[in-house]
Amino acid sequence: MTARPHGATASTGEKHPTLEEPLRELESQKRDRRQILEEAEDHRREANAFKQLAAAIVESSDIDELLTRALDVFALAAGADASVIRLREGERLKSRAALGLEEEVASGFSMPVQAVVRDPRAALFAATDPEATSEALRSKDLRGLYCAPLFHGEDIVGAVFFAAPVEREFSPHDRRLVGALATTAAAAIVRRFEFDALRQGLRAREEVLGVVAHDLRNPITAIGTTANSLLQRVSDAALRRPVERIVRGAQRACSRSTRSKRGASRSIRAPWKWPM
C-alpha cells in the first residue's frame, strides 16, 4: 500500500483542507508586509523630495539657482536620465535650466505653450507633440519624453520635461509625487519673480532718491547756512521766529532724504524669504 504524503488527501494529492487556511493567512501577511514596506519607502522618498525642494526655495539667491536646485529634486523623484525646465515667456515655453540637456538652454530653445496644455488635471503625461522635442533631445537619442506642467491656479508658469532612452510607465505614486512637487515649485517660481520685480522697483526708487537727494542737498544746505547767518545778526524775537522755522525745515528735509535713501538700500539688500 502506497503511503500518502503528509498533509495530502488520498484522492487528489492536494494539501489537506486543514492546512489551506493557515497557508492563505501566511501569504496574506507576506503581501501586507510587502505593501507596508513599499508604502514606507514611498513616504520616505516623498518627505526627502519636499525637504530638498523647501531648502531650494528658501536658500536660493535668484531664479536661476532656484530652477537648477528644483530640477535636481524633480529628476531624482522621477528617476529621469535627463530633464529640463521651460518657463513661460508670452505664448512660448523657453528652456531655463537643464540636467543632461544643457545644450538646449544654451541654444535658447522654446516651444508653444499650447503644445503642453492638454489637461490641467494630468500631473505627468507623455509629450508627443513634435514641437516639444529639441535638437538636443534628438541628438542624444532620448525617445521617451514626459511633461509635468507647472500650474499656478489656472495659469501655466512653465513645465518640467523628463527624458529617457526608452518609453517608460510611471507608477501612480510617482505621478502624485511629481504633481505635488510641480504645484509647490510653480508657486515658488511665481513668488520669486514677484520678489525680483519688487527688488528691481526698489533699486530704481533708490537711484531716483539718490539723484533727488544730491540735487536738493546743495540748495537746502545753502538755505540753512544763510538762515543761520541771519539769526546771528537778528536779535528781535519776532523776527527770529520765522528764520528759526526755516532752519528747522531745512534740517528736517535733509534728515528725511537721508532716511529714505537708507531705507531703500536696506530693502534691496534684505535676503529673500519664503512667505509663510
pLDDT tens by residue, 63-110: 999 999 999 999 999 888 899 999 999 999 999 999 999 999 999 999
> Strand 82-89's sheet: what is its strand order?
110-112, 92-99, 82-89, 155-164, 144-152, 125-126
Looking at the DSSP bridge assignments, the partners of residue 150 are: 158
Counting DSSP H helices and E strands in the chain, the numbers are 6, 6
Q: H or E element: which one contains 98?
A: strand 92-99
DSSP codes joined into one string, 196-251: HHHHHHHHHHHHHHHHHHHHHHHHHHHHHHHHHHHHHH---HHHHHHHHHHHHHHH
182 is a domain residue: yes
What residues make up the domain containing 98? 41-188
pLDDT for 223 equals 72
Examine the domain organization and report whether 204 and 166 are in the same domain. Answer: no
pLDDT for 276 equals 37
What value does the mean pLDDT of the chain take? 79
pLDDT for 275 equals 42
Examine the domain organization and report whether 258 and 214 are in the same domain. Answer: yes
Q: Tell me the one-letter amino acid at 70.
A: A
Q: Which residue has the cell 537643464?
A: 98
Q: Which residue has the higher pLDDT, 196 or 240?
A: 196
pLDDT for 274 equals 44
Cβ pair 275, 192 in contact under 8 A: no
193, 178, 161: which is closest to 62 by C-alpha? 193
Examine the domain organization and report whether 204 and 179 are in the same domain. Answer: no
8 is a domain residue: no
Examine the domain organization and report whether 62 and 158 are in the same domain. Answer: yes
Which among 188, 206, 222 is the end of a domain?
188
pLDDT digits (tens, 9 = 90+) for 8-52: 444 445 555 667 777 777 676 667 677 777 777 878 888 999 999
91 is a domain residue: yes
d(CA 111, CA 221): 58
Examine the domain organization and report whether 217 and 254 are in the same domain. Answer: yes
Residue 7, CA distances (Å) to 25, 104, 250 in order: 17, 67, 107
Looking at the DSSP bridge assignments, the partners of residue 126 are: 146
The enclosing domain of 118 has a CATH number of 3.30.450.40
Report the domain count for the chain: 2
User: Which residues, other chains included, contact 27 with Cβ-Cβ below 8 Å and sequence gap of 6+?
Assistant: none
Per the structure block, which three cell numbers stand in for 249?
525745515
d(CA 32, CA 200): 56
DSSP annotation of 130: G
